[in-house]
Chains A and B, each alone.
Chain A
Amino acid sequence: MADRYQNNREHNPHAHVIHKPGRRLMHKIPLRFVWRKVHGMGARSPNANLNLTAYIDFLLVTVIFLLTTFNASGQISVPKEITLPTAENAEDVIDAPIVSLDGNQVFVDGQYAGSAKSVEDRLGRIDELFAALKTRRENWKTLQPNKPFPGVVILQIDQETKAVVVKSVFQTAAYAGYPNVSFMVTKGK
């Protein structure tokens, strides 16, 4: 049946209902002026193709650049209250316990580790910070008994903090077995 309809469309009652989409009408109608008008009267066609190649190239290059420069090493959250000082000759941050001083409160890797109120006027040791760091050092040695302990701690301190507090935290870290103390800074001039 299908072949009969295809070969002889005049006998197919539904042949006019479904047509393959396209510009068939232009070819069937012998109106040359319509054809010329559609094609811009012999001039440039009104339908313009937008060349997307350059645009896609640009997007691809940007995406590849961003993917290759994607770096998570500097992604350490700094509390909003802490404004870090700026230094030019600074190194990349390494994986180490972070002691942050938020106002008077001291935190080790986000966990509360005492108050710095007692050292605001005179140099001293912060006992809770000392205990927290000592526990971490012992845990590290238990988990990795064959490796030498690096003894690195990173201090996250606001730029307006008084030197006596900075020195007290520094000294406490050294007493707790962390002699390599680094200060977190924002790199720049």
Chain B
Amino acid sequence: MAGVDVGEGGGRGKRAVSADINLVPFIDLLFVTLAFLLITAVWTTNSRINANAEVPGDPGPNPPPPERTLHVHVSSESFTLAWRSGSVVESETTVARAAGDKQLIALREAIQKEYANRGVHRHPDDGETDRLVLHTPNDLPFSEIVNVMDAAASTKREMRTGAQVAMVPAFTSTFAVR
């Protein structure tokens, strides 16, 4: 038991100055707090992966030239990465699908390479991001869509926000609805 010892006391038969502090309630309180915090702790946190469905507005009488976008076609055999400006296909790369995480690593590296070679918005002062359009078969499981979006989000670039430069995803994903 803990004690507070300040010597022999006042003498002359008075009560001793040294006193024992009962630590049992304190330990009980700590235990209860610890148990509460452990029970209510969030061990699996949910996160979000972003997509964007913004449709370009009316271009007006003098429409700007169409911006280069990366189209990712997902099929059962491969991922096809194609840079397009409007309807013109500028380049095309195919990544073969494989079992397990290998295909995702290959896809991630391929997207990073494509961005390094042909990405449009790369300067830190550029507040825009490149667009990635996802073409999927209708029966593709949602987990596979998220895998491709995750691979796209792994490509990061610097972007100035105020006085600071932050690393942000280089692509904004969206879906081809046709």
* Contact (A87, B49) CB under 8 Å given A161-B142, A162-B140, A162-B141: yes
Interface of B is mostly: mixed
B137 contacts A92, C-beta separation under 8 Å:
no
Total A-B Cβ pairs within 8 A: 163
Contact of B141 among A49, A93, A123, A159 (CB under 8 A): A159
B26 contacts A56, C-beta separation under 8 Å:
yes
When distances are taken between beta carbons in the complex, the residues of chain A under 8 Å from B31 are 59
A38 within 8 A of B: no
30 contacts between A and B (CB under 8 A): A55-B27, A63-B30, A70-B37, A74-B42, A74-B44, A74-B45, A84-B46, A85-B147, A87-B147, A89-B150, A90-B153, A91-B47, A91-B49, A92-B45, A157-B142, A159-B141, A160-B141, A160-B142, A161-B142, A162-B140, A163-B136, A163-B137, A164-B138, A167-B136, A167-B177, A174-B54, A180-B53, A181-B53, A182-B50, A186-B46
When distances are taken between beta carbons in the complex, the residues of chain B under 8 Å from A78 are 46
A163 contacts B140, C-beta separation under 8 Å:
yes
B82 within 8 A of A: no
Residue of A nearest to B151 (CB): A89
Tier of interface size on chain B: 35 or more
When distances are taken between beta carbons in the complex, the residues of chain B under 8 Å from A184 are 46-48
A163 contacts B47, C-beta separation under 8 Å:
no
A174 contacts B48, C-beta separation under 8 Å:
no
* Contact (A90, B47) CB under 8 Å given A59-B31, A123-B177, A162-B140: yes
User: In the complex, A159 Cα to B142 Cα: how many Å?
Assistant: 5
B98 within 8 A of A: no
B154 within 8 A of A: yes
Q: Return B47 CB to nearest CB of chain A, in Å.
A: 3
Query: What 6 A-B pairs have minimum CB-CB distances, sorted nearest first?
Result: A74-B45, A174-B53, A90-B47, A164-B138, A89-B153, A182-B48
B52 contacts A85, C-beta separation under 8 Å:
no
- Contact flags A60-91 to B (C-beta < 8 A → 1, else 0): 10110011011111111010000011111111
User: In the complex, A187 Cα to B146 Cα: how many Å?
Assistant: 12
- Contact flags A160-187 to B (C-beta < 8 A → 1, else 0): 1111101100110110001111111111
User: In the complex, A164 Cα to B136 Cα: how many Å?
Assistant: 9
B42 contacts A87, C-beta separation under 8 Å:
no
When distances are taken between beta carbons in the complex, the residues of chain A under 8 Å from B51 are 170, 181-183
Q: Which of B1-32 contact A (CB under 8 A)?
A: 1-2, 23, 26-27, 30-31
B143 within 8 A of A: yes
A154 within 8 A of B: yes
